[in-house]
Structure 1
Amino acid sequence: MKKYSIGIAFLLFFVGLNAQDTLSVSINKFKKIKVDGVAVVVGKNIVLDSDIDKFKKELQQRVEGKIDITDCEMLEELMIQKLIAHHAVVDSIIVTDAEINGEVQRNISYFTQQLGTMEKVVEMYGFNDEEDLRKELFEIQKEQLLIRKERSSITEKVDVTPEEVRTYYKNLEKENSLPEFSAEIELAQIVKIVKPSDKEIKRVVDKLNDIKKDIEDGYSFRLKAIINSDDPSVSGNGEGSGGKYTITRESGFIKEFKEVAFSLDEGEISEPFESGFGFHIIQVEKIKGQERDVRHILIQPKISPEELIASRDALAKIRNEIISGEITFEEAVIKYSDDKETKNNKGLLLNPQTNDTHFNLTRMDPTLYGRVSNLKAGEITEPYYDEIRGGEKMHKIILLKSKVDAHTASFTKDYEKIQQLTLQKKQEETVDSWSVEKIIDTYIKINKDFKKCKFKNNWKKD
C-alpha cells in the first residue's frame, strides 16, 4: 500500500495470523538465544529488547515491506498486546488446555509435514528436544488465545454502516492513500484419487493380521513397527519413535486413529483399519486419565505404475471433454471429482489463510503458483500427480476460474475489502479507547532506554 495505518497493520498482523504464521513468528521469537534486556513490563507480562526488532521485521515482511515505523511505535503496539493479554486474565477469559494443545499440535503437524520429521523441526528452531518445543509453544499459544478472545470481547459489538465505508474510502482517496491490491485468482479443481487394487489391499490387511498375531504371541510391538511401519517417524528419537505416540481426544491425529485408540482397553490391539494414510493396527500401552500411550503400525498399499498411468489418462480424457464443450467444468466436478472438500463447491479451492476463494498471487504456495501463474482465465492445467505426504496419491487438473490484476482500490470492485478495512480501523479505535482506560489501572514499568519515546497513550503516566 502507498500508506497504511500502523494500527490496522498490527491488527492484521496479530489477529490475522494463521497456524503456520503463528508458529513461525513465535518460534523465531523464542528461539534459543542469549537472554536480553527487558524493555517494558505490563502487568505480569514483559517485552524484551529483541522482541521489538524481531516483530518489526516480521510485520514488514507480512505487509511486503511497505510500512515504515519507529522502534517506539513498534514497542507501543507490543505493549498493547501485553495489556490485552494481562486483562484477559483479569477478566477471567477462559482458555482450556485442550484448546492450547490443539493449536500446538496443528502447528507442529504443519511444520513436520513441511520439513519431514519432528527431529528436523526441533533442530531447525534450536530447541533441545520435542518436549522443550511443546512447552515453549504451549505458553506462546496460551497468550495468543487470551489476546484473541479478549480482543474479540472488546470489539464484538463493533460494526460499520455503508456510509462509514464510503466515508473511509473517500478520505483515503482525498489523502492519495488508496491501498494497492495485488493480483488475485480463483481456482477450481478436479481430483482423481488413485485407488490400490483389491488384491493389494488384501495383501496389506493379511500382513497386519500376521503382525498382530505375532505380537499377541509375545513379539515386540516396537521392533515390529521399526521393521514394518511406513510411518516416517518410526525410526526417529522423538514422538512416533518405535510407533509410540501420546494422544488425547484433542490431539491433531486423524479421526479414524483417535476413534479406534479410544475404543480399546489397556493392552488391547485393534483389528486392521483404514485411514487416508493407509492401513493401521494400534495397541494401547497405557491409559493416563485423558491421555493414552499408543503404538501403531502403518502399512500403505502400493500403487503400480500402470495404475498411475491409467489414472492420469482418465483425467486427461475428462479435461478434453471439458475443453470440447461436451461437459462443463462444474458438471465434471460433480460427476468425477473424488475430493470431498471441493466436490460440493463447484471445485473451488479455499484459501487457508483467508478462508475465501481468492488467492493472492504473491503469497501462494510456490508449487501451486508455478502451475497456474501463466494460465489465463478459463484455462485448465494438464493432469499432474500429487499426494498427501505419506497418504493418498492422486491426479489433478486445475481451472483458473478468474483473475484480477494488481490495481489501486476501487470502491465498486473492492467494496468488501474496503468494508473490512473500515471495520478493522473502527475495531482498532475501539481497542485504543479501551487501552486508554486500562493503562491507568495497570502496573507498567518502562526501561530508561525507552522513556524518551513519545507514545500515543500515557504509558509513562506523567
Structure 2
Amino acid sequence: MRKNIIGIAFLLLFVSINAQDTLKVQTNNFKRIKVDGVAVVVGKNVVLDSDIDKFKKELQQRVEGKIDITDCEMLEELMIQKLIAHHAVVDSIVVTDAEVNGEVQRTIAYFTQQLGAIEKVVEMYGFNDEEDLRKELYNIQKEQLLIRQERASITEKVDVTPEEVRTYFRNLEKENSLPEFSAEIELAQIVKIVKPSEAETNRVIAKLNEIKKEIEEGYSFRLKAIINSDDPAVSGNGDGSGGKYTITRESGFIKEFKEVAFSLDEGEISEPFESGFGFHIIQVEKIKGQERDVRHILIQPKISEAELQASKDELTNIRKQILDGEITFEEAVLKYSEDKETKNNQGLILNPNTNDTHFVLTRMDPTLYARVSNLKAGEITDVFYDEIRGGEKMHKIILLKSKEDAHIANFTKDYEKIQQLTLQKKQEETIDQWAKEKIVDTYIKINKDYKKCNFKKNWKKE
C-alpha cells in the first residue's frame, strides 16, 4: 500500500498539468542547473541534487506527512520518470509546439490571475523577463507531455476485473491498511449571465468593422491590436503579443475562435464574431500545414451598474422562490440557469481534475471553498458575482447537494474509488516491469555519492 501511495502521489507530483504544481515544483530547479550537482544521468536526462530535496518536500506535503521517504527512494522515483521521458523520445512520441505552448499559456494565465500581473509572476519566480519564463516553462511542459503520453502507451491495455478489485480490498483489510477518504461534497449551481445592452453590442461590432476596414486599407493589424484589443496578452512579449497566436485544431482555444480561424484563407480578415470573451476579428497571417499563425482583436462590451444590479435582483428572487418551496432547485436550473455545461445536468458542477461531480473539501479552489465550506447538505449560498477571467460576467447561487464526511474505505460505498486505486496499482506494476526491461539497454550514470543506495531496480547494472 505504501509503495502504491508513493507511486500515485509521485505521478501526480511529476506529471500534473495543474499550473500551480508545475511552477512551484520545477522552475527553480531549471534555474539552478549550472550550480547544482548532478545526481544521475538517465539517457540524456539529468537529475540534480536539488531535485531530490525539492520533490521530497513536495511529496510529503501532498500526503500530509503520512509517508517518510528517503533520498534514495526519491531519487529512484525521479529516475523512473527520466527513464520514461528518455524512451518517449526513443519511441518517437510526438508532442507538438502548439500542445506545449497551450500548456505554457494555461500555466501563465493561472499565475497571472493569482498574482494580478505577469510582471509579478516573473519577479516572484526570479526570471529575467516573460520570455525567459516562457522558455523555462516550455522545457518543463514538453517533458511532462512526453511522460504522460509514454505512460499512457505503456499502460493502455491495463484493466482490472471485479475480482481483482475485491482481492485488493481484502488484502488492505488484512494488512489493516484501508485508506481514509477525505470529506467530499457535490455542488450544483444556477447561473445568470449579465448581458450588455443591444446598443453597446452594436457599438462594439461597429468599432470592429471600422478597424477591419482600416487594416484592409493598409493599417498594421499588430498596432491596431495593441491600441484596441482587450486581450491582456496583447502588450506582452510572448504568445499573444500584438494579438498573434499560433494555433492548431487541438489548441486550447475556444471553439468559436478556432472555427473562424480555420475557415479563413491566408491574409483574410473575419467579420466580427462573438465568443464568451466578447467580440473578435481574426486575420490569418500564415497557413503552415495543420498550424495557423493568426492575429486577433478582442473588444468586450461594457456592462453598466444598472444591468449588474438587475441580474443580481433576478437571481435573488429565484433563490427566494426555491427557499419558499415554490420551485425546486432542479426545476429552477432548467427554467432559469444560463450555464451550458450544467443546465442539463441538474446544475451539477464537474470537478475539472477528476471529471466527476465530487470535490474533496480541503483541495478545492480556495474561493469556492470559502463559499461552501460552512454549508450543510441542502443549503444554498447567497447570490454572488463571478466572471471568467476577462470574459463573461455573471451572478450565481450554489447548492451543497451532498456531503460525505471523512471515513475509512467501505467496499460497497466506495467501490469506484477502490477500483481506481486497484487500476493505479496495476498500472504502476506494469510501469515497474517495463522499467526493469528498459534499464538494461539505457545509458545510466550515477554519482558516487548515490552508489551506496540500495535501489529496488538494477540501476547500477551490477
Q: TM-score over 0.5 for the alignment?
A: yes
Aligned to 1:208: 208
Residue 401 of structure 1 is matched in structure 2 by 401
Residue in structure 2 matched with residue 230 of structure 1 by the alignment: 230
Unpaired segments of 5 or more residues in structure 2? none
**Cα deviation 1:53-80 (Å, max 9, x = unaligned):** 1111221222223221000000011111
Name the structure 1 match of 2:87.
87
What RMSD, in angstroms, separates the aligned Cα atoms of the two structures? 2.8
Q: Which residue of 2 aligns with 1:330?
A: 330
After superposition, what is the alpha-carbon deviation per residue over 1:253-309, rounded to whole angstroms, capped at 9, x for unaligned? 323333334444555443322221112233445556655554433221111111111
Q: For residues 25-72 of structure 1, what are the alpha-carbon distances to aligned partners after superposition, in whole Å with 9 as ceiling and x for unaligned?
A: 333432456431111112222211111111112212222232210000
1:415 corresponds to: 415
Distance 1:327 1:141 in 2: 48
Partner Cα distance (1:127, 1:15) in 2: 23
The match for 2:158 is: 158
Cross-structure match for 2:443: 443
What is the identity, as a one-letter code, of the residue corresponding to 2:279? F
Distance across 1 between alignment mates of 2:107 and 2:436: 34
User: Displacement of 1:234 after TM fit?
Assistant: 3.5
Task: Give the corresponding residue for 2:56.
Answer: 56
Q: Tell me how far apart the structure 1 counterparts of residues 281 and 8 of structure 2 sit (CA, whole Å).
A: 50
The residue number in structure 1 matching 2:391 is 391
Q: Distance in 2 between matches of 1:124 and 1:328?
A: 47
1:379-400 deviations in Å (ceiling 9; x for gaps): 1111111111111110001000
Comparing 368-377 and 283-292, the one that deviates more: 283-292
**Is the 8 Å Cα contact of residues 9 and 62 (structure 2) preserved in structure 1?**
no
SS of residue paired to 1:234: helix
1:432 paired residue number: 432
| Structure 1 stretch displaced more, 239-248 or 51-60 | 239-248
Matched, 1:319 2:319: yes
Letter paired with 1:353: N
CA offset at residue 327 of structure 1?
Answer: 2.0
Match of 2:456 in 1: 456
Structure 1 residue 355: Cα displacement: 1.3
- Do the aligned partners of residues 292 and 418 (structure 1) sit closer, same or farther apart at CA in structure 2, a change above 3 Å counting? closer
1:375 paired residue number = 375
Counterpart of 1:346? Answer: 346
Measured at CA, do residues 308 and 86 of structure 1 come closer, stay the same or move farther in structure 2, by a change above 3 Å? same
Does the aligned pair in 2 maintain the 1:19–1:106 contact within 8 Å?
Answer: yes
8 Å contact from structure 2 (residues 192, 336) kept in 1:
yes
Does 1:7 find its partner at 2:2?
no
Which one is further off, 406-415 or 337-346?
406-415
In structure 1, what residue type is equivalent to 2:9?
Answer: A
- Distance, in Å, in 1 between the alignment partners of 2:346 and 2:244 is 40
Letter in 2 for 1:135: K
In structure 2, relative to structure 1, the CA distance for the partners of 1:215 and 1:9 (3 Å cut) is closer
Describe the shift of the 1:224–1:39 C-alpha distance in structure 2 as closer, same or farther (beyond 3 A): same
* CA displacement at 1:337 relative to structure 2: 0.9
**Matched position secondary structure for 1:390:** coil
AA aligned opposite 1:384 = F
Task: Using structure 2 for the length normalisation, give the TM-score.
Answer: 0.90
Q: Would the alpha carbon gap of residues 430 and 280 (structure 1) be closer, same or farther in structure 2, given more than 3 Å must change?
A: closer
Return the letter of the residue paired with 1:82: K
- Distance in 2, matches of 1:177 and 1:11, equals 21
The 3 A distance-change label for structure 1 pair 268 and 423 is closer
Partner of 1:366: 366
C-alpha distance in 2, partners of 1:448/1:303? Answer: 65
How many Å separate the matches in 2 of 1:150 and 1:106?
Answer: 22
SS state of the match for residue 160, structure 2? coil
SS of 1:76 mapped into structure 2: helix
CA distance in 2 between counterparts of 1:222 and 1:160 reads 54
Which residue identity does 2:389 align to in structure 1?
R
Q: Which position in structure 2 is the counterpart of 1:178? A: 178
Contact 1:118 1:238 in 2 (8 A): no
How far apart are the structure 2 equivalents of 1:144 and 1:251?
A: 17
- Say if 1:16 and 1:418 are closer, same or farther in 2 by CA, change over 3 A: farther
Secondary structure, in 3 states, of the residue corresponding to 1:188?
A: strand
Asked if the contact 2:105–2:239 (Cα under 8 Å) also holds between the matched residues in 1, the reply is no
Stretch moving more, 402-411 or 189-198: 402-411
Answer yes or no: is the 8 Å Cα contact 2:13–2:21 preserved in 1.
Answer: no
CA contact (8 A) 1:186 1:400 kept: yes
* Equivalent position SS for 2:233: coil
Could you tell me how far apart the structure 2 residues matched to 1:97 and 1:239 are?
Answer: 12
Q: How far did 1:439 drift?
A: 1.9
Distance apart, 1:332 and its partner CA = 1.4
Matches of 1:302 and 1:443 in 2, distance apart?
60
| Residue 103 (structure 1) aligns with | 103
Cα pair 1:246 1:292 within 8 Å, conserved? yes
Given that 2:284 and 2:295 are in contact with CA atoms closer than 8 Å, whether structure 1 keeps it comes out as yes
Deviation of the 1:448 alpha carbon: 0.3
Against the structure 1 CA distance between its residues 156 and 438, is the aligned structure 2 distance closer, same or farther, given a 3 Å change threshold?
same
Q: 1:157 to 1:246 in 2, by over 3 A?
A: closer
**Residue aligning to 2:298:** 298
**Alignment partners' CA distance in 2, 1:93 and 1:291:** 19
Aligned to 2:137: 137
AA in 2 matched with 1:274: E
Bigger drift between 151-160 and 53-62 goes to: 151-160
Report if aligned partners of 1:32, 1:126 keep a CA contact under 8 Å in 2.
no
> Structure 1 stretch 20-29 or stretch 150-159: which is displaced more?
20-29
Distance 1:238 1:177 in 2: 49
User: TM-score w.r.t. structure 1 length?
Assistant: 0.90
Q: What does residue range 15-30 of structure 1 map to in structure 2 within 5 Å?
A: 17-18=17-18, 20-30=20-30
Moved more, 100-109 or 450-459: 100-109
SS at 1:280 equivalent: strand
Aligned equivalents of 2:292, 2:93: Cα separation in 1: 29
User: SS at 2:346's partner residue?
Assistant: coil
Correspondence for 2:42:
42
Task: Note if contact 1:11-1:428 (Cα within 8 Å) is conserved in structure 2.
Answer: no
Q: Deviations over 1:327-363 (max 9, x none)?
A: 2212211111111111121111111111111111111
Using the aligned pairs only, state the percent identity. 85
Please state how far the C-alpha of 1:423 moved relative to its aligned partner.
1.9
Offset at residue 222 of structure 1 (A) = 4.4
Number of matched pairs: 462
Comparing 440-449 with 286-295, which one deviates more in the overlay? 286-295
